[in-house]
Amino acid sequence: MSILPFTRPTLGDEEQQAVNEVLASGWLTTGPKVDTLEQALADYIGGGVSVRLLNSATSALEAALMASNVGPGDEVILPAMSFTATANVVLRVGAMPIFVDVDALSRNLAVQQVEAAMTPRTRAVMPVHFAGLPVEMGPLYDLAERNRLIVIEDAAQAIGSQVDGRMIGAAGNPVCFSFHPNKNMTTIEGGAIASSDRQLLRRIERMRFHGIERDAQGNMDVPQWGGKMNLADVNAAIGLVQLSRLDAFNRRRRELAQLYIKLLPQHAALLMPRDQAGHSWHMLCVCIDFDALGVSRTGFQQRLQKLGVGTGVHYPAMHLFSLYRSYGYGPGDFPEAERIGEQTLTLPLFPGMQDADVEKVCTAVSQLLRGEDAP
């Protein structure tokens, strides 16, 4: 039996041709394709922002923090529900991640949680647009302006998402995207920062390639620390094709998500995620009360596997990882994030799916919710 995976990139002949053209050009690393994709992304996002490409969203987040001079002695407020990179980069620059709880339906933080967690050391807030659902940013921007906080948005899962009719990334503060193979568009590996702060972007340009800058005569200087975070042209060439298809990808994701919402049963043990305008539906993560069903999450996944349905887990609550327990966090700190971490299950969602695939998944989930075992 073939297994329907929870995600699969949509790649075709156009991407293959784009790669072949770069290979034939002889320019494989950062070059004209990177420049072209940066401008294309800036045009797509709008708001007058500029974009700089890096080799991952993790690098983008780290570079945004460093370029904003966030470091030792500073605190950065972020949600306890996200991929661990969101918090890891804060430690990487020497600052302290301050977790807050999230909403059960949106999986996102809210301004009230941020305000309650603020201290004199708070330097920045890092909201995460979970699974492509936009955070309510207006109140956060207002809070940040009143308290002189930096807002760095983790939009790794939100390329193409919109809030108040504007693309995520268009507000002007640093916003970081991912183009990993499981994202709504891919460059295989890659990330980006969108911002209207020219000075910050200049720092990032140097930071992503050894701190190097050159004058008009080509003479090299290294005025600041830099790493190796640049994106190659071969990746950017794939990204240019993917960007041209992104809106169609996201439309299909929304159609599939709406079909899930229609077909999955109302059940006391099943909690659906929130839907709203502007959602790009990077993932569809439901919560299932496995204890109430008398089964472990692993057991539930194994039974779905027997029915031909692959699943994922996005994510465990970050503050319960050993690394963050060592900083004093523990069970009971953030009940909603912990509940989500224990009950979350990611169902298949990608543009190449057919309606019949969603029907298959919903039938299988419904069967198990009724207590009917897989054959």
- Domain 247-369 is found in CATH 3.90.1150.10: yes
Residues belonging to the active site: 183
The pTM of the full predicted model, rounded to 2 decimals, is 0.97
CB 129 within 8 A of CB 157: yes
The whole-number pLDDT of residue 164 equals 86
pLDDT per residue over 176-192, tens digit each?
A: 999 999 999 999 999 99
Pair of tokens at residue 333 = 């700190």
DSSP-derived pairing of the beta strands 213-214 and 220-221: antiparallel
Query: Is 70 exceeded by the pLDDT of residue 374?
Result: no
- The DSSP code for 272 is P
Q: Which 3 state secondary structure label does DSSP give 221?
A: strand
Q: Using omega within 30 degrees of 0 as the cis cutoff, is the peptide bond preceding 315 cis?
A: yes
- Phi, psi values for residue 304, rounded to 5°: -65, -40
User: One fold for both 13-241 and 247-369?
Assistant: no
| Segment 288-310, tens digit of pLDDT | 999 999 999 999 999 999 999 99
- Cα 221 from chain centroid? 34
* pLDDT reported for residue 296: 97
Over the chain, what is the mean pLDDT?
A: 97
Q: Hey, where are the domains in the chain?
A: 13-241, 247-369
pLDDT confidence tier of residue 375, bands split at 50, 70 and 90: low
CATH topology of domain 13-241: Aspartate Aminotransferase; domain 2 (3.40.640)
Name the pLDDT band for 230 (thresholds 50, 70, 90).
very high
DSSP-assigned letters across all residues of 312-323: B-----GGGSHH
Nearest to 153 by CA among 68, 246, 41, 247: 68
Residue 1 has pLDDT above 80, yes or no: no
